[in-house]
Amino acid sequence: MRTHNKRAGLLKGTAALALMGVLAAAVALPALAADKVTKDVAPVTAQALSEHIRILASDEFQGRKPGTAGEDKAIAYIQDQFKKIGLKPAVDGSYLQNVPLTEIVSKADGPMVITGPKAAPLSLEYFSDMIVWTRQRTPHVQVKDNDMVFVGYGITAPEFGWDDYAGVDVRGKTVVILVNDPGYATGDPALFGGGAMTWYGRWVYKFEEAARHGATAAIIVHETRAAGYPWGVVANGGSIPKLSLMPADGGLKTRSAVEGWMQLDQAKAVFQAAGLDFNTLKDSAARRGFKAVPLPLKMSVGITPTERDVISHNVIGTIPGAKHPDEMVLVGAHWDHLGIGPAINGDTIYHGAMDNASGVAGLIELAKRYTKGPKPDRTLLFIAYTAEEQGLLGSEYYAQHPLFAPNKTVAGFNMDMLSSVGLTRDIVLVGGRKSDLEDRLKAWTDAHMMALNQEPFPERGYYYRSDHFNLAKIGIPVIYAHSGIDSVANGAEWGKTKEDEFTRLHYHQPSDKWSPDLDLSGGAMEVNMIYDLSRPLAFGTDWPKWYDKAEFKAARDKSMGK
Ligand SMILES: [Zn+2]
């Protein structure tokens, strides 16, 4: 409630707004009186968050990369905090869940060569024209004169009545795939998520689906807008050491031998060599009834990987429920960042203050706020995930090896990059139209006289780019929302400038550092918002539900035995 009072205080100059504030408070009163939690618990403060961030993002923690000395420091700090607060260790008396990872560095032996009957061989240079890697445990990958098939968006989605792999056998072949999904390509609201990216638009999904169909190589055509990032990001991401969760078969049967991307211009040349027009085929791929097109081409490429095993850790603590201890309300934030990397402005430590020391600070302070109040009816589960920056691996491992039954996990909340620019009048929901947690959030923003906005770039698929997504995949309703740009003190234009500035100058760069000037009041508000949203679940008996059209509803129904 203090957050609300503070906001009202800041808005005091405007009589109309102040009056609305009084009305909102009056409306909220009966709900409060009926609340069995009568003792007010002091909310999370900006100062408390700042202190954790200062420590976690300091030079000593070396950017908190999994499997390094920085990890040892980070997980020791989080365990120490969990212990001080009085959280119960979740793993046989320990806070640590071991997460076995394999680090693979891939390098192409030479260019990717594509030959056909009608044109001269095409030679695609590593890094500048294409990027390839392997996630198989193998000393060497050699693909020679492999048949190629264009599989459109590479999607098999029964709930949308869509199957790009229908009627074509891609086993042992190279599939060429478009990025994003037909809804994005056409803007047709009846197709997939319309303009908003669905899980089927993400590249991770496309590699998984190609492997399920037995493809030897899966190559995605890069387009900047549809992918959400430029070629440089894709090429860099593909060439740096990759940590992954290694399946029991070493990925030999469960993953394609080759995964990668090719530049748009190269893809156009490849289709031309097959006597086909890329744009024409791309258009047809977005239409219902599209059939995969075998290309009269052969692809060859070699990859030499080097591998190393790493044991990393999720840090997990609970506040056991008094009445329904087997029912869980989950809150998560990733503790890892990028470690030490190329120097930018003379600094090689990627501190990750906002990304995501801030989320861990929020996790610790939220847990602390709960421990100061009465014991919840249900169990509260606090997870600091590892290896988010490596592809959401800690949360994926938890989803594969949950400590508590997913169908008893009531709901989940995620904190990834709290706000550092002060209080705002708006909250942004990442990934709308998913579950009724959104209705609860809307009620909260209404009560606080704030606007609830949809994310400005739904085509970028941010919902699929943080840890809550792995919980959604196993059916747990999860929500991720954060402060918007409409600054209470400085307005929306200023807020937008600040946000762009952070993305350009600090995001995933060494300069994402702690400073006493970070205004964490908005961050504290976000943490207290999660407290307000999770509390009725922790002290209640209801179960949030996916909307009927949400792509994760089927997983929930299945886990509930429906
Ligand atoms: Zn990040």
How close is the Cα of 508 to the center of ligand 1, in Å?
6
How close is the Cα of 421 to the center of ligand 1, in Å?
18
Contacts of 305 (CB under 8 A, 6+ apart): 104, 105, 106, 107, 133, 134, 136, 138, 139, 140, 141
Residues lining ion ligand 1 (Cβ < 5 A) are 355
- Output the pLDDT for position 40: 61
* Per-residue pLDDT tens digits for 450-468: 999 988 777 777 888 889 9
* Per-residue pLDDT tens digits for 479-529: 999 999 999 999 999 999 998 898 888 988 899 999 999 999 999 999 999
How close is the Cα of 63 to the center of ligand 1, in Å?
11
Q: What is the ipTM of this complex?
A: 0.95
Of 253, 306, 251, 300, the closest CA to residue 139 belongs to 306
Distances (CA, A) of 336 to 244, 348, 351, 352: 14, 16, 10, 8
Domain boundaries in the chain? 1-34, 41-100+311-559, 104-307
The answer to whether the beta carbons of residues 143 and 300 sit under 8 Å apart is: yes
- The correct answer on CATH 1.20.58.2240 for the domain covering 104-307 is no
Could you state, in chain order, the average pLDDT of each consecutive group of 10 residues for the chain (562 residues)?
30 34 37 44 94 98 96 98 98 97 94 92 96 95 97 92 96 97 89 82 92 98 87 84 88 95 97 96 96 97 95 98 97 96 88 97 98 96 96 95 96 96 95 92 96 84 87 96 95 94 87 96 97 97 93 92 87
- Joined tokens for residue 156: 């098999």
Q: What is the CATH number of domain 41-100+311-559?
A: 3.40.630.10
Residue 412 to residue 481: CA distance in whole angstroms: 12
Residue 199 to residue 477: CA distance in whole angstroms: 15
Find the Cα–Cα–Cα–Cα dihedral 86, 88, 94, 96, rounded to 10°. -90
140 burial via Cβ count (<10 Å: 0-12, 13-18, 19+): exposed
- Output the pLDDT for position 133: 96
Residue 521 to residue 517: CA distance in whole angstroms: 11
How close is the Cα of 485 to the center of ligand 1, in Å?
19
How close is the Cα of 334 to the center of ligand 1, in Å?
9
